[in-house]
Amino acid sequence: MLLVTISEKGQIAIPVSLRRQYGLEKGDRLSVEEIDGSIVLRPLPRHPLLALKGKLRSAGGERLTDLLLKERAADREREYR
């Protein structure tokens, strides 16, 4: 059992051993529930697309967002002809 203290602002610090065990990082969100007289914290999953941020590239090495923006610009140009 680990003991924590509630701060003046109602905050608690999750011990580093638990943060490491559950892969918790700054900005992660937790659900807080009361179940049978106990307070239960559960980590919420991170958005799966955020984990891919900056990792996807096209076959030519160009960023996919740049390719999409070029494609949309070409679509707009075709619409106004």
Here the CATH number for the domain that contains residue 13 is 2.10.260.10
Question: Residue 67 has what pLDDT?
Answer: 81
- Residue 66 DSSP class: H
CA atoms within 13 A on the CB side of 33: 7
Beta pairing, strands 30-35 & 38-43: antiparallel
Is the entire prediction scored with pTM above 0.75? Answer: no
Q: Which residues does residue 32 pair with via DSSP β-bridges, in sequence order?
A: 41
Give yes or no: residues 33 and 16 share one domain.
Answer: yes
Q: Which residues does residue 42 pair with via DSSP β-bridges, in sequence order?
A: 31
Q: What percent of the chain has pLDDT over 70?
A: 85
Give yes or no: residues 28 and 5 share one domain.
Answer: yes
pLDDT in tens, 29-61: 899 999 999 999 998 888 777 666 666 665 667
Strands (E), the chain: 30-35, 38-43
The whole domain housing 63 covers 50-79
- Structural domain tally of the chain? 2
